[in-house]
C-alpha cells in the first residue's frame, strides 16, 4: 500500500553557491534539517520555486540524489519531473524513482498549449514509466494550460498512480469540482487559499512559504485538521501579507529570489537565483526594505505560532 501524502509540503528553493555556478550541498543539508525540525511532512524539489529550468540534466541527477540521501526518510521527497518534451519527463520520472524519491510532481507540457488528448498522452507516458505516486500540477499562469476537472477525472480513472493534484488555477472552487468529478479519489492539494480549500475538500497545501516559515506553514494545516479554524485563518492572513509586499515590485521580483533572501534572514543562506530571474542582489535598497518588512511579519508570526503551541 502506498503512503498517503497529507499536510503542508514546501516547494523548496535549490541552494546555489555564492556565484551561482554549483548546487551548495552543505547549505542543502542544513536546510533539510531545518524542515525536519519544523515538523514538515515533506518537500517538493525542482518545482517553480526550485528554478528547475536552470539546472542541467547532470545537476538534476546530483541534486535529487543528494536530497533523498540527506532527507534519509525523515520526510517525504517529491521530485518535479516536468518538461515540454514527453521523453524528458519520462526520463526524469524514472530517474527520481531509481534514486529513491517518494513521489513526483508533474506539470503538463508547457509552451505548446496542448490539447486535452496531448496532455492525457503525456501523463500516460509518465505514469507507465514509474510506480511512484504522481501529483499533477495545474498552474495556468506558468504553463498556459488549465486542466479542467473533467480532464483530471479522466486521468484519475485511467492512470492508477495519478492520485494527487496541486490545484493552483486561482479558482478555489476548482477544489470542490475535482473532488466531485473524481468521487473523492483524487487528493487535492491547495496551491493558494488553504483555509477555503480545506473546507472544500483539500487534503494538503503546496506552498513556497516553507522556505522561510516552515513551522508556521506546517502549523497552518495542522490547525485546520484539528478544527482550529481561527488560528489557521490568522496564519493565512499573515502569510498573504508577504505576497502583497512582494507584488508591489516589478513582476520579476517574484517568490524565487525573495524565498532565498528570506531563508537567509532566518539563518539558512541558500544563495541567489540564476538568470534570467532577477537576483535579490540586483534589487538594491528597495529589495532590502521589502525583505525587512516581511521579516518583521515573520517575527510576529513565529511568536504567534509559538504562543498557540504553548496553550
With a CB cutoff of 8 Å and minimum separation 6, the contacts of 167 are 138, 174, 175, 178, 188, 189, 190, 191, 197, 202
**Are 170 and 192 in contact, with CB atoms under 8 Å apart?**
yes
Name beta bridge partners: 164: 135, 187
Give CA–CA dist 137/82, Å, rounded: 9
With a CB cutoff of 8 Å and minimum separation 6, the contacts of 185 are 156, 163
In the numeric block, the cell 524513482 is attached to: 97
Nearest to 35 by CA among 71, 80, 4: 71
Question: Terminal CA-to-CA distance of the chain, rounded, Å?
Answer: 37
Catalytic site residue 137? yes
- CA-to-CA separations, 66 to 63, 85, 94, 142, in angstroms, rounded: 5, 25, 16, 27
Strands (E) located in 174-277: 187-190, 204-207
Angle at 33 between CA 30 and CA 34, to 5 degrees: 90
Catalytic residue among 166, 209, 253, 258: 166
By annotation, the residues acting in catalysis are 137, 166
Amino acid at each position: 500500500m502506498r503512503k498517503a501524502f497529507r499536510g503542508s509540503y514546501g516547494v523548496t528553493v535549490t541552494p546555489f553557491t555564492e556565484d551561482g555556478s554549483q548546487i551548495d550541498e552543505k547549505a542543502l543539508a542544513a536546510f533539510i534539517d531545518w524542515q525536519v525540525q519544523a515538523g514538515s511532512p515533506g518537500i517538493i524539489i525542482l518545482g517553480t520555486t526550485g528554478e528547475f529550468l536552470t539546472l542541467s540534466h547532470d545537476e538534476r541527477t546530483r541534486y535529487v540524489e543528494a536530497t533523498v540521501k540527506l532527507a534519509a526518510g525523515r520526510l517525504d521527497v517529491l521530485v518535479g519531473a516536468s518538461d515540454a518534451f514527453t521523453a524528458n519527463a519520462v526520463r526524469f520520472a524514472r530517474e527520481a524513482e531509481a534514486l529513491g524519491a517518494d513521489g513526483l510532481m508533474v506539470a503538463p507540457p508547457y509552451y505548446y498549449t496542448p490539447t486535452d488528448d496531448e496532455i492525457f498522452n503525456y501523463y500516460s507516458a509518465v505514469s507507465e514509466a514509474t510506480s511512484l505516486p504522481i501529483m499533477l500540477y495545474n498552474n495556468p499562469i506558468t504553463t498556459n494550460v488549465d486542466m479542467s476537472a473533467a480532464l483530471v477525472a479522466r486521468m484519475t480513472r485511467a492512470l492508477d498512480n495519478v492520485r494527487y493534484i496541486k490545484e493552483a488555477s486561482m479558482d478555489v472552487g476548482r477544489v470542490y469540482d475535482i473532488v466531485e468529478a473524481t468521487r473523492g479519489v483524487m487528493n487535492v492539494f491547495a496551491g493558494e487559499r488553504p483555509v477555503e480549500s480545506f473546507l472544500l475538500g483539500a487534503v494538503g497545501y503546496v506552498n513556497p512559504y516553507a522556505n522561510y516559515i516552515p513551522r508556521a506553514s506546517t502549523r497552518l494545516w495542522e490547525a485546520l485538521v484539528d478544527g482550529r479554524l481561527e488560528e489557521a485563518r490568522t496564519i493565512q492572513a499573515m502569510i498573504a501579507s508577504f505576497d502583497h509586499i512582494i507584488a508591489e515590485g516589478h513582476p520579476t521580483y517574484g517568490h524565487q529570489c525573495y524565498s532565498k533572501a528570506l531563508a537567509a534572514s532566518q539563518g539558512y543562506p541558500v544563495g541567489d537565483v540564476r538568470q534570467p530571474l532577477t537576483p535579490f542582489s540586483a534589487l538594491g535598497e528597495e529589495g532590502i526594505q521589502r525583505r525587512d518588512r516581511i521579516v518583521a511579519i515573520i517575527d510576529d508570526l513565529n511568536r504567534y505560532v509559538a504562543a498557540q503551541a504553548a496553550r
